[in-house]
Amino acid sequence: MDRYEKALADSKVTGDDSVVAAEVKKILESAGDYATPEVYQFLFSSIDLTTLSTEDSQESVTAFTQRVNDFDNEYPQFRNVAAICVYSNFAEVVSSALEVTGVDVAVVAGGFPSSQTFTAVKVADVALAVAGGANEVDVVMNLGYLRDRNYEDLCDELIELKHTAKNAKLKVILETGALKTAEAIKTASVLAMWSDADFIKTSTGKIYQGASLEASWVMCQCIKEYYAQTGRKVGFKAAGGIRTAEEAVNYYAIVKEVLGDEWLNHDLFRIGASSLANSLLAAMTGEDKRFF
């Protein structure tokens, strides 16, 4: 048995979908208690503000970045978003245009959103993005390898991508909408973390169903177990279809109830979003204004 098979065999996280649904339902019963101004502000400052359009251009991405710069001037009472997330070829554009401190440059890379390309192409993409100024890199797990139970090649590829990213955070997207079951999501979570992922992320938001509370609960349970086994903290990122402040609070509740306050910081918790930023800003200010 190799180390990946052993890690999966040793995991005690439930793969029973009915148990997962019941646990999530319990958390949601009191999730509304977290709908406070402080939590809204924390959630806003945990956003990876994202533009991933076929029509993105140097001009549009520069303007997108400028809105983040403007936010510091127009809302100095609030902390800015955690990162700006763009396609890998725009890393240098964001890095050059970004004027505020405390906001990271994140990219999607490595054959996003399908992960269907050569490993060498993925490595080159990550390397070029980091050279362009990216300090966070989101890549999609190769679900073809996962389907074939080819765990060695799957994990070797992720380890190589983390090695290429160097000090940049590597967020591994599990595409939970394709995995569907708690058992499959558990398998993907464990393999990603044992492959040096700094974060595990729910979804691309491009092809399959986006984030779900059930998938997030399983992922957070796996993170908790991995931390107990290794002492290494892996972050959690929810992405795909989270559009309202109320929905974001539910994900906050999952992380708080499963992982605790230790994970409620920008090094370990993120939400990938575009329209969510405006919903949270409205909740924070009482003004229904489309800023981003």
How far, in Å, CA of 197 to CA of 207, rounded? 22
288 is known as an active-site residue:
no
How far, in Å, CA of 80 to CA of 100, rounded? 9
Distance of CA 239 to the CA centre of its chain: 6
Residues contacting residue 83 through CB under 8 Å, at least 6 positions apart: 47, 48, 49, 103, 104, 105, 106, 136, 270
201 is known as an active-site residue:
yes
Q: How far is CA 79 from CA 38, 44, 68, 90, 128, in A?
A: 11, 8, 11, 24, 30
Beta bridge partners of 200: 172, 236
Residues contacting residue 90 through CB under 8 Å, at least 6 positions apart: 56, 58, 61, 107
How far, in Å, CA of 190 to CA of 186, rounded? 6
Q: How far is CA 96 from CA 69, 126, 182, in A?
A: 12, 18, 41
Contact 68, 84 (CB under 8 A): yes
Of these residues, 122, 162, 186, 201, which one is catalytic? 201
Long-range CB pairs of 113-118 (<8 Å, 24+ gap) are 113/140, 113/173, 113/175, 113/204, 113/206, 113/207, 114/140, 114/207, 115/139, 115/140, 115/141, 115/142, 115/143, 115/144, 116/144
Q: What angle do CA 211, 204, 275 make, to 5 degrees?
A: 70
Of these residues, 138, 169, 171, 256, which one is catalytic? 138
As annotated, the active-site residues are 138, 201, 237
